[in-house]
Amino acid sequence: MTTSCKVSICVPTCNRPELLVECLDSCLAQTHTNIEVLIGDDSSDTRTQQLIATRYAHDARIRYVKNEPSLGQARNVASLFARATGDRIALIHDDDYFTNDGIESLLALWQQHPQLEVAFADQYEVDAHGHFDTAKSAAVNAAFHRTAAAQGLQKQPGRTGLVQMFPNNGWMANAALVKRISYRDDVGTCCDYVFGSELCLAASQVYYLHRYVSYYRKTDASVSGRSRGSASSASLTAFEFVSKLTLDASLEPARRLALRRLAPIVVSLYAKNDAPFAALRVAFEHLYAYAYGFDARLYYHLSLIARAFIPTKWRRLPPSAPRFP
């Protein structure tokens, strides 16, 4: 494998030095050696700074910056992209990590397809302790349309981002394109999804490789989990983003598929946050998301909406009420 192509691996981190070690060690152990590892540290203390100084100070591939004041998720990632000097950019979050040949596997696709702009592959799902189940990981990838039958250059590059086939990290893309799209600071914790969608919509060639190249760790402290039940949820922002996108007619099925997943979540969020009229509007505008009445979630969500019309002091949900998302 040629090492002439330099890859910038961007690692945003915040208050997780104990997990960052595994992430950085996986980056430095790559079989493709022409890399730089850029770290943007948003931590509220100096533990990560001390870790870098003691463990990685003599590795010239590490380029560390302590953000003071902290930048927040989107601006931190955007700053990493801006600092990158490689021909390709890869992103990996501090609690995730690459397989040893992850970078090489993705980069090799450019030799086969010189006009390629974006590449991504499968992720193992790992628990907080680093354990993973191969069967469960396969099921999770399949749920996001990552299957053997889908491997190859994508006929509709933009579709991969809209339907969340494109992963939140563990991908690779041309540096110029990544820098042009970058992360947006106006979409909250939905910035990963918005970036992935806009990146793939802007790309002329996107390749999906049916092979594991990274590990995605699910933890209680994940960014996506902090506002899941609130009116500022990433799902609500994603719903609004997809709904308002100007798309070519050929991508309307992809929009519909994305909204089929998002609409019921948004209905539930509106109902639980005392916005019953908004919940009703979304539910009836997207009845296909409930199989036109054959999905039990519709009736549960209608009960939540009805409850939202009742003054708070009179509400009382029966203990045996079903729990749907």
- In tens, the pLDDT along 29-65 reads 999 999 999 999 999 999 999 999 999 999 999 999 9
Please tell me the distance from the alpha carbon of residue 165 to that of residue 142, in angstroms, as a whole number: 9
Question: Structure pTM?
Answer: 0.91
**Whether the predicted pLDDT of 318 surpasses 60:** no
Mean pLDDT of the region 219-240: 67
CA angle 316, 320, 323 (to 5 degrees): 90
Instruction: Tell me the DSSP string of 125-147.
Output: EE-TTS-B-HHHHHHHHHHTT--
Tell which residue, 175, 224, 164, has the closest CA to residue 200.
Answer: 164
* pLDDT value for 3: 72
Predicted confidence band at 219 (pLDDT cuts at 50, 70, 90)?
confident
- What mean pLDDT do residues 91-120 have? 98
Please choose, from the candidates 235, 227, 219, the residue with its C-alpha nearest in 3D space to the C-alpha of residue 15.
Answer: 219
The per-residue pLDDT for 221 is: 54
Mean pLDDT of 189-200: 97
H or E segment to which residue 117 belongs: none
Using the 8-state DSSP alphabet, how is residue 230 labeled? Answer: S
* 314 has a pLDDT exceeding 70: no
Q: Which two tokens stand for residue 81?
A: 């992209």
From CA 300, how far away is CA 259, in angstroms rounded?
19
What is the pLDDT, as a whole number, of residue 223?
Answer: 43
Task: Check residue 323 and give its pLDDT.
Answer: 54
pLDDT score for 54: 97
Question: What are the sequence ranges of the domains in the chain?
Answer: 7-221, 234-314
Question: Is residue 19 scored above 70 in pLDDT?
Answer: yes
DSSP string, 147-182: -GGG-EE-SSHHHHHHTT-S-SSS-EEEHHHHHHH-
What percent of the chain lies above the pLDDT cut of 70?
91
Residue 190 confidence (pLDDT) above 50: yes
Residue 226: is its pLDDT beyond 50?
no
The SS3 of residue 315 is coil
Q: Which CATH superfamily is domain 7-221 in?
A: Spore Coat Polysaccharide Biosynthesis Protein SpsA; Chain A (3.90.550.10)
Residue 302: per-residue pLDDT: 97
Residue 8: its pLDDT value, please?
Answer: 98
Give the model's confidence band at 130: pLDDT under 50 very low, under 70 low, under 90 confident, else very high.
Answer: confident
Q: What is the pLDDT of residues 264-297, one digit of tens each?
A: 999 999 999 999 999 999 999 999 999 999 999 9
* pLDDT classification of 238: cutoffs 50, 70, 90: very high
**23-37 pLDDT, tens per residue?**
999 999 999 999 999
Which distant-in-sequence residues (6+ apart) come within 8 Å of 257 by Cβ? 162, 163
Q: Which two tokens stand for residue 18?
A: 């104990």
pLDDT of residue 22: 96
Mean pLDDT value across residues 248-274: 97
**pLDDT at residue number 325:** 59
**Contact of 35 with 11, CB cutoff 8 Å:** no
pLDDT in tens, 136-181: 999 999 999 999 999 999 999 999 999 999 999 999 999 999 999 9
Q: Which pLDDT belongs to residue 56?
A: 97
3-class secondary structure, 15: coil
pLDDT interval class at 128 (50, 70, 90) = confident
Mean pLDDT over residues 70-74, rounded? Answer: 97
User: What's the mean pLDDT in 100-117?
Assistant: 98
The mean of the pLDDT values for the chain is 93
